């Protein structure tokens, strides 16, 4: 009995030192940046959200090709209003891997990826630094389990250049005008 009591603190110390695998361990980086980082009023920029995961972990697109996979997807919440007008649709990373599940396929991104979305600097924007905030609900998995999704609040900075506005790209003009009326 005495040996057991003496060994108990050692066992507890070893158990405490063993790292528990968590989503935090799996996620190396989640960041958002605008490219270019400087733009004139009316100019189109690209928001890039990059996720880097540790080896052995994967994530998902924002839309799965099969309706059965709708719960195995990330979600990005873009604000209405703010320093830029988000236009078009979110583009998932290139090169997904297909994973067969029951009678349908899921797309996955081993190691992470980069999601992109176009945005237009409003023609009425004032020169100077500004930032846009987005919420990225990220689902991370490994071979035999998924972690609960975590929402990352990301901020991308942009410098609005001084000078006259450029013409808004015709394919985004209606979306920008609609946003300006709100």
Enumerate the β-bridge partners of residue 48.
33, 116
- Structure pTM? 0.86
Residue 3 lies in a domain: no
Residue 5 lies in a domain: no
Three-state SS for 108-129 is EEECEEEEEEEEECCCCCCCEE
Residue 175 lies in a domain: yes
Residue 168 lies in a domain: yes
Q: Which domain holds residue 67?
A: 21-180
- What's the domain count of the chain? 1
Residue 9 lies in a domain: no
> What are the tens digits of pLDDT across the range 33-83?
999 999 999 999 999 999 999 999 999 999 999 999 999 999 999 998 889
Residue 113 lies in a domain: yes
Tokens 């108990």 identify what position? 8
> What are the tens digits of pLDDT across the range 136-176?
999 999 988 999 999 999 999 999 999 899 999 999 999 99
Give the number of residues written for the chain.
182
CATH of the domain at 87: 2.60.40.1250
Residue 61 lies in a domain: yes
Residue 67 is given by DSSP the state G
């Amino acid at each position: 009995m005495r040996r057991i009591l003496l060994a108990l603190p050692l066992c507890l110390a070893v158990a405490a030192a063993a790292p528990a695998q968590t989503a935090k361990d799996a996620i190396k980086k989640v960041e958002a940046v605008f490219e270019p980082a400087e733009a004139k009023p009316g100019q189109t920029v690209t928001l890039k959200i990059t996720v880097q995961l540790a080896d052995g972990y994967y994530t998902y697109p924002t839309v799965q090709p099969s309706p059965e996979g709708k719960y195995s997807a990330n979600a990005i919440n873009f604000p209405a209003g703010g320093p830029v007008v988000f236009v078009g649709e979110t583009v998932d990373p290139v090169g997904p891997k297909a994973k067969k599940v029951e009678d349908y396929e899921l797309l996955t991104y081993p190691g992470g990826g980069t999601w992109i979305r176009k945005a237009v600097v409003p023609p009425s924007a004032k020169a100077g630094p500004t930032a846009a905030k987005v919420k990225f609900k990220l689902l991370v998995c490994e071979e035999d389990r998924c972690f609960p999704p975590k929402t990352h609040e990301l901020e991308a900075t942009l410098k609005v250049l001084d000078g006259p506005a450029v013409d808004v790209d015709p394919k985004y003009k209606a979306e920008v005008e609609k946003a300006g009326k709100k």
